[in-house]
Amino acid sequence: MHRLKAESILNPEIRPFIPALNIFLSRLSGIVNSDDPELDFLEDLSELKEQHLVSHVLTMTFLRQRITNGGEEWDICMEPFSAFEGRSERLSIIDIGFENSALQTFFQWFISLCNWESNLISTTPIH
């Protein structure tokens, strides 16, 4: 998956999300490909509004699924899918719909990865 660069994103609403999106995309490696239609919203971040970005992320298919290997469940907040898959003998994917607590935990993790200071304009003090 490609890395997004904050300096190339002209939309200041989206800049704080770039670090979170990069980690998010790296954690999805192996379960979502870079050409996956679910990632089409990343094509033009300059036109995207904050609420649409959040909506796209929170409605991705993997959030409606429980992915397990025996008794162990994959948690995007804890590790990349590729690491989980690498030690798995047999993956089981069950569509469970959206669970509020799991969605809330994911969203808190995602928001914690954002750089809210990237929106600030740096200025040089005048003496």
- Give 60-113 pLDDT, tens digit per residue: 999 999 999 988 999 999 999 999 999 999 999 999 988 899 999 999 999 999
- Residue from 124, 125, 114, 122 nearest 6 by CA: 114
Mean pLDDT is lowest, of 3-7, 8-12, 123-127, for: 123-127
Whether the model clears a pTM of 0.85, i.e. scores above it, the answer is no
Query: What is the model's pLDDT at position 120?
Result: 52
Spatial distance between the Cα atoms of 56 and 77, rounded to a whole number of angstroms: 18
- Residue from 48, 61, 69 nearest 97 by CA: 61
